[in-house]
Amino acid sequence: MSKILIVGGVAGGASAAARLRRLDEHAEIILFERGAFISFANCGLPYYIGGEITKKSALTLQTPRSFHGRFHVDVRVFSEVTAIDREAKTVTVKNHETGETYLESYDKLILSPGAEPIRPNIAGVDSDKVFTLRNIPDMLKIKDYIDGKCPKDAAVIGGGYIGMEMAENLRAAGLRVTLIERLDQVIAPLDFDMACDVRRYMKSKGVSLILRNGIESITDHGDALAITLQEGDIQADMLIMAIGVRPESDLARVAGLAVNQRGSIVVNDQMQTSDPDIFAVGDAVEVTEFVSGQKGSIPLAGPANKQGRIAADVICGLDSRYTGTQGSAILKVFDMTVATTGVNEKTAKGLGLDYEKSFTYVASHASYYPGATNMSIKTVFETGTGKILGAQIVGFDGVDKRCDVFATAIRAGMTASDLTELELCYAPPYSSAKDPVNMAGFVIENVLTGKVKLFHWHDVEHLPRDGSVTLLDTRTPTEYAKGTIDGFVNIPLDTLRGRLDELDQTRPIYAMCQVGLRGYIAARILSQNGFDAYNLSGGYRLYESVVG
């Protein structure tokens, strides 16, 4: 009978334990968790603070007792593994309830320590008004502070997933919120042009945003915090530190297991560390990015659960392998949904990939059926083949299922032509006969087959205004009057065919409309009449969102 120890009882660790028992009814399985809770829904913690989730018990998917009852796993909470002796194949365990320290032997060991919030080494960070959010005790500490102290103003440092979720839920709890981010955008996995819609929406929901700025120090004046930034300062009654996480890999590093420069535990595709009897899973491990093949750290719950299952499979003799993480993630921002999968343009450019991008702005379902909302889709694709490399979607209803289709397409190595052929479910309340995913495929296919040439929002400022090119706004006079791009003249699409003689056929024409569709039709008319025409991808709406 084999003896397997698991360090860490959330996500990867709990998944590994359950899978091990399903595969081996007779193995001795001991799961160590230094805190009080196992298998809790840490992704749901912000929503308890904001009141969307009202029962703490809803976040504990399993208790030590229920986990033992179902899987016959020896769950030891308040038990911290402090050292690994690889030669003796033992771990040192400290029981934080009794103070006892003891040794436990193993045949196989699985490490699932997770990642811990980064607390910068700055003055005042240890104030009892400064919080991080990783587990249920952290959640309760924040919730109790809000309920007991009734703060009015909160600052959130960091515009990543946790920072954004906390900003939303602190607003839901009735606080005024200021979010500070060092970058020039929120949500780093998004490209800047896609993050602009999110920024604007956050402001509309009453969140004050301070970008391109970072925290320098914190001073606790008793009744409030004075927060000194790189530029300026603000005051708040409480502060949430959400500037990122780092792998909690000290246990592995001290034991002599290989870790990379960032501290992530190095594993092979079967989740084995540099010691073949020790496995590691979850946020603490180095992963291979599925699209680029680069090594990285992508702390997400889905991959952690899959890795835990794979480690259990391998221990039980199955040939199970992890094929990489593509970073599929989704975020609720008030009523808005933000989703991403695969590589973004920043990554594609940094890796020197041969790529192009397209923007589509389409309705979530048939526009004549009530409740349709538009979503903005950015697709990154390989120029030679049309292979889909990444997608980002910002919108409301239906964003989740479209990004899931893109994620599936990327995993399957599909191209834009494949997207056009997908037969997706259609009824007016749910989609259009040509689904937004199909539309993205059509746009890319048109580019690849030479039916349209694109230019982008960042190209506009470089277009000459000396008459050597024609800049054409194909929207209606009413739209044009409400705002246009400097140098663009207005010829509405529906009058274009009758006014071709007003255009110089020797000059390239750069056409635009509101979202890209009319500009595409104009470019097709022009190109078939001998003009060299280009269409502004994403249209004036995207340009104004980014530049305006």
Q: Which two tokens stand for residue 223?
A: 């009744």
Strands (E), 57-175: 74-77, 79-85, 90-95, 101-105, 108-111, 115-117, 130-131, 153-157
Confidence label for 540 from pLDDT (cuts 50, 70 and 90): very high
Q: How far apart are the first and last CA of the chain?
A: 67
Q: By mean pLDDT, which of 14-28, 50-64, 91-105 is the weakest? A: 50-64
pLDDT at 57: 85
Q: Indicate the pLDDT class of residue 315, thresholds 50, 70 and 90.
A: very high
Q: Return d(Cα 388, Cα 402) in angstroms, integer.
A: 14
Confidence of residue 468 (pLDDT cuts 50, 70, 90): very high
User: Residue 204's pLDDT band (boundaries 50, 70, 90)?
Assistant: very high
pLDDT at 58: 85
Q: How many CB atoms lie within 10 A of CB 407?
A: 22
pLDDT score at 18:
96
Percent pLDDT > 90 in the chain is 95
Report the pLDDT value the prediction gives residue 535, as an integer from 0 to 100: 98
Q: Which residues have C-beta within 8 Å of that of residue 491, sequence separation ≥ 6?
A: 472, 473, 474, 499, 502
pLDDT at 173: 96
What is the per-residue pLDDT for 4? 98
> What pairs with residue 74 in β-bridges?
30
State mean pLDDT over 501-512: 97
548 pLDDT above the threshold of 90: no
Q: What is the pLDDT of residues 44-91, one digit of tens each?
A: 999 999 999 998 888 887 888 999 999 999 999 999 999 999 999 999
**What integer is the mean pLDDT of 441-456?**
97
pTM of the entire predicted model: 0.95
- pLDDT cut 70: percent of the chain above it: 100
pLDDT (mean) for 245-250:
96
The predicted structure's pLDDT at residue 40: 82
What does the block give as tokens for 225?
């915090």
Average pLDDT, the chain: 96
pLDDT per residue as tens digits for the range 130-141? 999 999 999 999
Q: Which tokens belong to 533?
A: 């025409």
CA 205 – CA 208 distance, rounded (Å): 9
Predicted local distance difference test score (pLDDT) of residue 59: 87
Q: Is pLDDT above 90 for 37?
A: no
139-161 pLDDT tens trace: 999 999 999 999 999 999 999 99
Question: How do strand 74-77 and strand 28-33 relate by DSSP bridges?
Answer: parallel
For residues 332-355, average pLDDT: 97
Per-residue confidence at 42, pLDDT binned at 50, 70, 90?
Answer: confident
pLDDT digits (tens, 9 = 90+) for 156-201: 999 999 999 999 999 999 999 999 999 999 999 999 999 999 999 9
- Per-residue pLDDT band for 361 (boundaries 50, 70, 90) equals very high
To the nearest 10°, the Cα dihedral for 20, 25, 28, 29? Answer: 30
Residue 347 confidence (pLDDT) above 90: yes
Active site members: 43
Report the alpha-carbon distance of residue 129 to residue 144 in Å, rounded. 12
329 Cβ contact partners less than 8 Å away, ≥ 6 residues apart: 161, 189, 300, 339, 340, 341
Averaged pLDDT for residues 489-517: 97
